[in-house]
Structure 1
């Protein structure tokens, strides 16, 4: 089967780099499947899980808090704000981040400008996605 190269990079390190059959990424507009030969594009990512497909099944799951992805016919490069293998997520840590994000959003909703509210909402949604990923049963 045809493959494409998937690179997932966070500010701290390269988390994944290998040939894959498909990558599912959490684009801002909705989940997006990237296959070999995909049309070139750059997309914004929302908080969610990247699923790596090889051999007809999901082999890796990584949570990203946001970022960007550049897609070409041969490659998908994810530049993540923060990325963690789903197996390494902690429900307790995710709950704490969610509580902090909810408080920040409540504060921003009262006085911040529109850009501040949007940023607080994006962080809140990413925290909710992280908790969902941490709570989900392993495949």
Structure 2
């Protein structure tokens, strides 16, 4: 019986994480959820937020993940997202600029795709939170 989970975080461009983990915490659309080895299988949607996991050496890792999906199996969790960044790779100035642009778009009210602007604001805020954690 496996003692650890295999964690894969994949975007359309690359595999961001491929590691063994003791526990994985992810931002589900119904709230944050945790996965340990031998978890009951399920498939769920993710919202932008922090994904954190503890590797087999007890080191904690933190990433920003955009919306996407997670497949949980007893010995692995596969996260498929549009984008993902490790905490140390997030450009805080770029994230702040994205937040400001999204806020201005929402405030202008002129010919704005509110759903898209709100999604951009949510992503920027979550990236800032992960970078500052």
Calculate the TM-score normalised by the size of structure 1: 0.81
Q: Counterparts of 1:117 and 1:38 in 2: how far apart (Å)?
A: 38
Quick check: 1:47–1:127 contact (8 Å CA) kept in 2?
A: no
Cα deviation, residue 119, structure 1? 4.1
3-state SS of the aligned residue for 1:102? helix
Q: Aligned partners of 1:111, 1:6: CA distance in 2, in Å?
A: 41
- Measured in 1, the distance between the counterparts of 2:110 and 2:18 equals 43
Aligned to 1:3: 4
Q: Cα 1:58–1:30, aligned 2, differ >3 Å: closer, same or farther?
A: farther
Aligned Cα RMSD in Å?
A: 2.2
What residue ranges of structure 1 are gaps of 5+ in the alignment? none
Aligned residues: 132
Is contact 1:51-1:61 (8 Å) kept?
Answer: yes
Distance 1:35 1:120 in 2: 35
What is the rounded CA distance, in whole Å, between the counterparts of 2:106 and 2:82 in structure 1? 19
1:65 aligns with: 66
Which TM-score applies when normalising by structure 2? Answer: 0.84
Map of 1:121 onto structure 2: 118
| SS class of match (2:38) | coil
- State how far apart, in whole Å, the 2-side matches of 1:55 and 1:18 are: 9
Contact in 2 for aligned 1:105/1:117 (Cα 8 Å): yes
